[in-house]
Chain A
Amino acid sequence: MKEEIIIAGFGGQGVLSMGKILAYSGMMQDKEISWMPSYGPEMRGGTCNVTVVISDTRISSPILNTYDTAIILNQQSMDKFEDKVRPGGLLIFDINGITRFPVRKDIKICKIDAVDVATKIGNNKAYNMVVLGAYLKEKPIVTLENVEKGLKKSLPQRHWDSIPQNQEAIRSGMESVVEL
């Protein structure tokens, strides 16, 4: 098994932390992992992305040009990464801020209204966990038990009380993802 993922959006959407939680979850599942961010301006609200690789075997390049999955959270990233999904791959996007829907026919395309879902469960901060849930529904590469362990590893202990809400957000995301 080898899954190469790009997660892309604006700084502040939780792109990097979503990737981190996915990476931690992969680690809990005894996978090899790499997490390679675009770094620098992202903390100032610019576009940002992170490449996450989860694999049974040693990972060579942490930097890729094509991906098995693209998780897209803004239009700039859609323009940049739609073409980079390998044939037969997966593209998941949050419809908010997307003005041009993807047009590829050779990949699986799923959408989610993550802002709406997060608002409904009363936890806007867990927006990125909703998106993560949508992804895990389509590609259950890590178990939810390991995601919980991953959350524990990636969050400082003082934030552990937020883990149940994060899990709820993941479950809501799983329920709300729609294939186009």
Chain B
Amino acid sequence: MDVKDIIKPENMVYGKTKLLTDNILHYCPGCSHGVVHKLIAEVIDEMGIQDKTIGISPVGCAVFAYNYIDIDWEEAAHGRAPALATATKRLNPDKYVFTYQGDGDLASIGTAEIMHACNRGENIVVIFINNAIYGMTGGQMAPTTLLGMKTATTPYGRRADLNGYPLKITELIAQLEGTCYVTRQSVETAPAVRKAKKAIRKAFENSMMKKGTSFVEIVSTCNSGWKIPPVKANKWMEENMFPFYPLGDMKDR
């Protein structure tokens, strides 16, 4: 078949979501961010809520999320996205409001903001990318870094006596009365991607039902930070991250 035949509309088996812009992703090859961006864009597109959705991007690798999904965006200070989302949603209750945050942003500098937004039961969606490392600043220890994991600031591996323990913040958030849906997903295989998309869709749907906060963690890879090539990184994640951060719904009501 000629290229011209292949690109005929009737031969199309998969297309880029029209809500993803044509900007070239700045993420490293193998990074989970791109997949999660695509899922969010698909969900917004399929729900037909482009004109009703406001995204809030974090500080971290996903700071430029606003370059990739074609909706209105607010770019927050480090860790403060849930505070922005709180006001944005309360002042615009007809809008779908979501934050997109990494582990440093959400579970370290922004711990107070995420806890209180979830505890107030803000009717927002939180997408939490947990790759157990600081990507943008060059691979330093994150609150979710596993014990023994080597990073730029734990070159000997994370030690509990020096650095404390990895933080299971999603488990903490599931305890808060304000949350209605708390789940942990991943995007390293096709079935996992499909499950993660369902979770994201459910979270967006929840936000108009006044049920409280929906929180979706995506356990993710960071090839550059972990210094592991993409395929091996997926395997490393399955073997090391999943036992400590088990996948599945923690709360759904």
- Direct contact between A and B in the complex (CB less than 8 angstroms)? no
A residues within 8 Å of B by Cβ? none
